[in-house]
Each structure stands twice: as C-alpha cells, then as structure tokens.
Structure 1
Amino acid sequence: MGVTELLLIGSVVFLIAGSVKGVVGIGLPTAAISMLTLFIDPRTAIAVGLGPVVVSNAWQIWTMGDIRGTFKRYWLFALALGTSVFLTVTVSADVSEQVIFLAIGISIVTFSVLHLNFAMPPMPDRYDRAAQVGFGTVAGILGGLSGVWIAPIIMYLSARNLTKDEFVRASGMLLFIGSVPLVTAYVQQGFLTQQIAGVTLVLVIPTLIGFALGARLRQRISNEKFRKVLLYVFLLLGLNLLRRGLF
C-alpha cells in the first residue's frame, strides 16, 4: 500500500477513532487498530497508530494534573509494564501474523467484555505491590504483541476502587508510559520506519479533529446507549480478529 493510500485510510480511521474517544472517553487504539487490520498487516497497523496514541494519552495526563503523585502511586505497575512491552516486542519480532491477530483479538474482546458487564472484587492494600507487578507484566506482554494493553489496567484499577478522576489519571499515565517503550522497540526492530513515522505524525491531526467532534456529539446523544453499541461492535471486531488468528 502506498503512502497516499495509507494516509487516506488512516485519516478516516483516526477521525472515527478520535470521535469515539471524544464521545465515551475510551477506545482510541482499540477502534483504530481493529479497523486498520481490515486493510493492512497488524504490525503496520500498530506502528501507524503510535503517534495518535502517544499524543492523546500525553494530553490526557497533562490536563488531569497531579502527574508526580500519580506516578508515585503506580510506578511499580509502570516499570513492569514498560519493561515487558519492550522485551515482548524484541522477543516476538519474528512471530507470525496469526499470533499478532490472536493477541489483538484477545485484547479487544477482553476490553469489550470488561466494559459491558464486569466487576472486579476489591483488592486489599497488602496485595497492591504484587498486583501492580502482575497486572503490569500481563499488560506489557499484551501491549508488546497487540499494541492494546488497556484491559489489565482496567482490571487492576477497578479492583482498587478509585474515584473517577483518579481512574482517568492513572489509566492515562499507564497508557502513555506503555507507549514510550513500544515506540522505542518498534524503531529498534525496524517496524516504525521513517515513512510510517511521517504518516503516524500526520494522523494526529484527524485524531484531534475527531476528538473535538466527539466531545460536541456527546452533548446530543445518549452516552450510555452509544457506549453499549460501540462495545458490541468492538466485541465483533475482536472475535473476527481471533478467527483470523486461528484459521
């Protein structure tokens, strides 16, 4: 696929994905990667999404504030996440597309199920450090393979019974921190070429436009109904990716 065609497809995908995040506050990489894999190979899809994902998550933690305090509370999760993302990309550089499809499918299906109807049991403080390492490592392995690592983050943060603002701050920070070693490893392994780097930076623009449109649209539609429909769509896309990985 040529650069012009990739830019056109990517612009439409990230306009939609940005709008989704603007309406319901979630789902940018989930929507973008699941749609992009309908047109391009999964490694390229993940690489193309890196610019919008890094910028949107950096913006999220900047606007929420208390960056230092949030990092101090979740640095262990961040360390396990970042280390396992980088190592997973390095170790799995030669795995087949089927394995990547399976990893993306598992990430998206888990993400959808968690948001549709799931409640984590409360986690006592005494287990917090071990949980941060465990969930952070699992998130990093999934992220290194699929580019989507939100599901284990949701599971951990939900078990900690956080306030809404703290949940958004922590998830934004962990998503951003996971994206930094992912970019580094993709450059090192040659997946993020100069050409794709230019494309992913340009795609930040339609992402931000979509985000602004979604924020406006949020005032005019039923947020809960839209979220439920969207999650069922994600579930179908995820199941299709699992199918492509298995058959």
Structure 2
Amino acid sequence: MEMQQLVAVAAVFVVAGTVKGVTGLGLPTVAIAGLSLMLPLAQAAALLVLPSLLTNVWQYLRCGVAWAVWRRTRGLCLGIVAGAWLSPLPEVANAGPWAQALTGGLLTLYGLAGLLGLRLPPPGRHDTWIGPAMSLATGALTVASGVFVMPSVPYLQSLGLNKDALVGALGLTFTVCTLCLWISLGAGGVRTDAFAASAAMLLPALAGLGLGAFARQRLSEAAFKRGFQIAIGALGLTMVLRALPSMGGA
C-alpha cells in the first residue's frame, strides 16, 4: 500500500472511530463504505476486523449490564453464527461486482431508514420466529458483504432496550459478526498480511473514538446522526452506481 493510500485509509478509520465515539455504532459501516471506494471489498473488510473487534468488545464490557445483555441476546448471537455458517451467498473474500452492489444497497437502505425515522415495530409474541430470522439474515449478509447493521440494528432497536442495554447489545452482536467475518476471510485466504494491516489501523480507530467522545459533549447527537445517515446513504448509492456497469458486462 502506497503512502498516499495508507494516509487515506487511516483517515477513514479516524472518521469511523469518531462516528462510533459519538453514536456507539458505525465503525464497520463507515469503514466499509469509505474503504471500498479505494480498495477491493474483500481487502476493505479484512482491514476493519481488528479495529471493529476490539472496539466492540470494549463497548460491550463497559456497558454496565454485560451479563443481562448476554442473556437477552445470546439466541441472536447464536443465530448470527448459524447464518454465517449456513449462508448460501458467496463470501466477501470472493467478492465480485454483485457484492459491491449488495453492500451499497444495504448501506443506502440503512441511511434512508434512519433519515425517514423508520423503525420496526416491537416483535411481541412473534419474536419466536422474527428473532431467528433476523439473526440468520444478519449472519449471512455479514459474510457476504462485510456490513453488520442490517437487519440486526433495526431489530435490536425494536426490542425496547434501555440505553445501556442497547449499547451493550450492539457491541456484543457486532463482536460476533466481526468474528464470523474474520473466520470467513481466513477461509478465503486473507491471513497474515491482512492481519498486520488491520492491526495498524487500531491507532487511527482509537484516535477517532477519543475525538468522538470529545465531540459528544459538544455536538447535538440528533444532528450528528442525521449527517451520518445522509453520508452513509450517499456512499452506499455511490457503491451501487460504480458496481452496475461491471455487473452489466459480466
């Protein structure tokens, strides 16, 4: 990786870490969206593994209700693993233009849903089948696209968890998704060199977390989240538009 590209990649992780520092989520989402404009999707997904894993473990452990979160979401976590293992979709390590379009589409959908204030209704008594369906879909889409937010985040938001439990649940489920992605990438041949590059991105991501924590005290979180949703939707749409010509020629 050339120096200019390395600086650009590090800048993406600073921005991604800042978003996570303010909102509690968004590091892998921002990282995938930004890196995929410069790098192949599989390489972008490999780079985010360690920053995503360690920041999400930290977020889960410091939520203050880690054991209660585990009991509430362990079925979801096991379903994510099952969905990743049983996924009929090609893995991101073998990504072609369709995977870029899928990732872009998921990000665009996530951005639009946030802007429009769309939320899933509480699952209630239907959670016995909605929960497993959401977890299986999240696992399958994680290993196919490197994106963790759909449909896990809308589902968790629908459960009516308090703030601490929601932050912890996001940290735990994103940790599980990251591990599934890591195993998937290893099976696809992304190993030592990608691991070292991912480790090198820890410092920019942690610097961003610090900036985000600082900014959270001074910015309107609602305004920040709105800007985040707009940026993610725009990046996702850009990814789709870039992938379409290649898909047509395939």
Q: Same fold (TM over 0.5)?
A: yes
Matched, 1:228 2:226: yes
Indicate how the Cα distance of structure 1 residues 218 and 68 shifts in structure 2: closer, same or farther if over 3 A, else same.
closer
Amino acid corresponding to residue 85 of structure 1 in structure 2:
A
Contact 1:76–1:129 (CA<8 Å) still a contact in 2?
no
Name the counterpart of 2:63: 64
Cα distance change of structure 1 residues 89 and 15 upon mapping to structure 2, 3 Å threshold? farther
Equivalent-residue separation in structure 1 for 2:164 and 2:93 (angstroms): 40
CA–CA separation in structure 2 for the residues paired with 1:123 and 1:83: 21
Partner of 1:202: 200
Letter paired with 1:202: A
CA displacement at 1:96 relative to structure 2 = 4.6
TM-score, normalisation: structure 1 = 0.90
Q: Secondary structure at the match of 2:67?
A: helix
Q: Indicate if the aligned counterparts of 1:15 and 1:207 stay in contact, CA closer than 8 A.
A: yes
**Secondary structure at the counterpart of residue 151 of structure 2:** helix
1:174 alignment counterpart: 173
Question: Which residue of the other structure, out of 239, 243, 249, is the alignment partner of 1:241?
Answer: 239
Residue pair 1:86, 1:182 contacting (<8 A) in 2 also? no
CA contact (8 A) 1:20 1:27 kept: yes
Residue type of the partner of 2:239? Answer: L
Written as runs of structure 1 = structure 2, the 5 A alignment for 1:160-171 is 160-171=159-170
Look up the SS of the partner of 1:148 in the other structure: coil
Once residues 98 and 36 of structure 1 are traced to their aligned partners in structure 2, the CA distance between those partners, rounded to angstroms, is: 15
Shift in Å, 1:93? 6.0
Distance change in 2, residues 1:242/1:235 (3 Å): same
Unaligned stretches of 5+ residues in structure 2: 246-250
Distance in 2, Cα, partners of 1:172 & 1:210? 17
Whole-Å separation in 2 of the counterparts to 1:63 and 1:49: 21
RMSD over equivalenced CA pairs, Å: 2.0
Change (3 A) 1:144 1:57: same
Q: Distance in 1 between matches of 2:106 and 2:136?
A: 14
Supply the distance in 2 between the matched residues of 1:15 and 1:228 (Cα, whole angstroms).
19
- For residues 14-33 of structure 1, the C-alpha deviation after alignment (integer angstroms, 9 at most, x for no partner) is 01111121123221111111
Aligned residues with identical type, % of pairs? 27
Q: Would you say how many aligned residue pairs link Structure 1 and Structure 2?
A: 244
Match of 1:211? 209
